[in-house]
């Protein structure tokens, strides 16, 4: 009797073996490819173990790195345990949305860091019972905020010690550009706060943030992140570009991470996962003179607007172009890992913008605009990265601001 099974779809005439459809063949091919990629990735991991370790990874594992959270190892710090505690607390900070300024830190009470309910680093609360005395408000980015130092080592704290009669407030925030400081100043005026003397200590973030190819002169560091959140990720490609996607990071690590690292090590090339290859990390002021000019002009316009606001409310305003490790002759032999990490590209941005700002300040004829770009020149190890300094450096900055505010 002829087998009925031979006439069924999916069975060949020569036997009982079922032929596979296109979907099943595709699934098998994908599975085999996945297994092959994982096998190659594991083999690459084994080969990497035989090679000389990557210098950055080796430095981290050997306890030699002094970048980022490892800055406590820098020779600047005498109390390593205290410094390590500070960077541990720094990693614990969280942030939230704030109207007009975009973000601010959440309240925090640590051993080295205290943040109030306004998201600012002020251990003593501002109250209506302050009484007589000069009110001094410092605006800026994380340098003013005080990365790398305890609460009593910030510029604001050092200035308060130099000027006991003054009520000094620290309005610095991570990554703020001058436009955000201007928004914070405006909010204080709207809230009826006494302004007194206001100082904008800017420059580092104007270059590091606004010189990026994807950021305009009225942008800020998180504009693209916030834009995507508001739009709700309408496109798949935007989801794939989310660099903090744990899912994509996991896939990369399992299937390609070690293989790509091996290719990079052997071929001397740099290959990055798609979500890391974002234009926001690319600075262009050195290649686009018009962009550099607009960044410099926007800084001065924000300063001029702040000056008009403060003086209109009976206060004094000072603007300072802050120091950065790429300008002048500061000692930086102890932060070569930091400078090598960013390479020549970031240095080129400051070389393109800072001279423009300095010339515009000079041409303006305003004595309320000052240069502090060479403040840290000398043999002392003050920098802990390309922009932040130790308490000793902040003490120098505070003395400079004291002189600026007292007509010297």
pLDDT tens, position by position, 38-86: 788 788 777 767 665 554 444 454 467 888 889 999 999 999 999 999 9
Q: How confident is the model at residue 281 (pLDDT cuts 50, 70, 90)?
A: very low
Determine, yes or no, domain membership for 303.
Answer: yes
pTM of the predicted protein model: 0.76
β-strand partners of 109 = 114
Determine, yes or no, domain membership for 367.
Answer: yes
> Tokens 């702040």 correspond to what residue?
306
CATH assignment at residue 88: 3.40.50.1110
pLDDT tens, position by position, 138-150: 999 999 999 999 9
Q: pLDDT averaged over the chain?
A: 84
| Average pLDDT value for residue range 101-123 | 93
Determine, yes or no, domain membership for 21.
Answer: no
Determine, yes or no, domain membership for 31.
Answer: no
| Average pLDDT value for residue range 205-212 | 95
Residue 189 pLDDT > 70: yes
Q: Which domain holds residue 77?
A: 61-124+132-225+280-405
> Collapsing DSSP states into helix, strand and coil, what is residue 72?
helix
Determine, yes or no, domain membership for 24.
Answer: no
pLDDT tens, position by position, 310-342: 999 999 999 999 999 999 999 999 999 988 888
The half-sphere exposure of 205 on its side-chain side, counting CA atoms within 13 A, is: 26
Give residue 346's pLDDT: 93
Give how many domains the chain has, as a whole number.
1
Determine, yes or no, domain membership for 66.
Answer: yes
Give residue 267's pLDDT: 57
Q: Which conformational region is residue 122 in: left (phi greater than 0), alpha (psi within -120 to 50 degrees), or beta?
A: beta
**Cβ atoms of residues 341 and 334 within 8 Å:** no
- Beta strands 102-105 and 95-98 are antiparallel
| Average pLDDT value for residue range 109-133 | 78
Give residue 122's pLDDT: 83
**Cβ atoms of residues 29 and 51 within 8 Å:** no
Residue 376, φ and ψ in degrees, nearest 5: -110, 15
- Whole-angstrom distance, CA of residue 395 vs CA of residue 153: 8
Determine, yes or no, domain membership for 26.
Answer: no
Give residue 45's pLDDT: 75
Q: How many CB atoms lie within 10 A of CB 54?
A: 14
pLDDT tens, position by position, 257-276: 677 666 656 655 444 443 34
């Amino acid at each position: 009797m002829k087998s009925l099974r031979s006439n069924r779809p999916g069975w060949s005439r020569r036997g009982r073996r079922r032929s596979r459809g296109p979907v099943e063949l595709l699934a098998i091919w994908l599975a085999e490819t996945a297994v092959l990629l994982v096998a190659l990735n594991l083999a690459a991991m084994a080969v990497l173990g035989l090679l000389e370790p990557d210098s950055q990874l080796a430095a981290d594992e050997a306890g030699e790195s002094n970048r980022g959270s490892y800055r406590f190892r820098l020779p600047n710090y005498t109390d390593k345990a205290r410094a390590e505690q500070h960077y541990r607390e720094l990693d614990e900070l969280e942030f939230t949305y704030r109207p007009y300024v975009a973000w601010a830190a959440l309240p925090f009470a640590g051993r080295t860091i205290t943040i109030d309910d306004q998201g600012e680093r002020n251990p003593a609360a501002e109250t209506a019972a302050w009484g007589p005395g000069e009110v001094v408000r410092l605006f800026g980015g994380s340098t003013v905020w005080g990365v790398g130092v305890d609460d009593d080592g910030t510029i604001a704290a050092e200035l308060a010690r130099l000027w006991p009669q003054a009520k000094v407030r620290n309005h610095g925030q991570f990554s703020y550009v001058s436009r955000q400081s201007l928004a914070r100043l405006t909010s204080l005026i709207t809230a009826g706060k006494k302004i007194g003397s206001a100082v904008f200590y800017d420059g580092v973030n104007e270059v590091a943030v606004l010189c990026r190819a994807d950021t305009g002169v009225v942008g800020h560091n998180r504009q693209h992140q916030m834009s995507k959140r508001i739009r709700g990720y309408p496109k798949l490609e935007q989801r794939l570009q989310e660099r903090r996607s744990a899912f994509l990071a996991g896939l990369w690590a399992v299937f390609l991470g070690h293989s790509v690292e091996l290719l990079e090590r052997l071929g001397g090339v740099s290959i990055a996962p798609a979500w890391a290859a974002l234009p926001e990390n690319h600075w262009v002021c050195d290649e686009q003179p018009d962009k550099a000019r607009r960044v410099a002009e926007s800084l001065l316009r924000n300063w001029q607007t702040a000056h008009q606001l403060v003086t209109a409310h009976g206060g004094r305003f000072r603007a300072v172009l802050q120091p950065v490790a790429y300008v002048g002759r500061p000692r930086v032999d102890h932060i070569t890992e930091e400078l090598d990490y960013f390479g020549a590209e970031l240095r080129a941005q400051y070389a393109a913008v800072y001279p423009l700002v300095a010339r515009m300040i000079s041409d303006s004829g305003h004595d309320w605009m000052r240069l502090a770009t060479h403040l840290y020149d000398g043999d002392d190890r003050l920098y802990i990265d390309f922009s932040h300094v130790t308490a000793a450096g902040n003490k120098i900055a505070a003395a400079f601001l004291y002189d600026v505010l007292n007509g010297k």
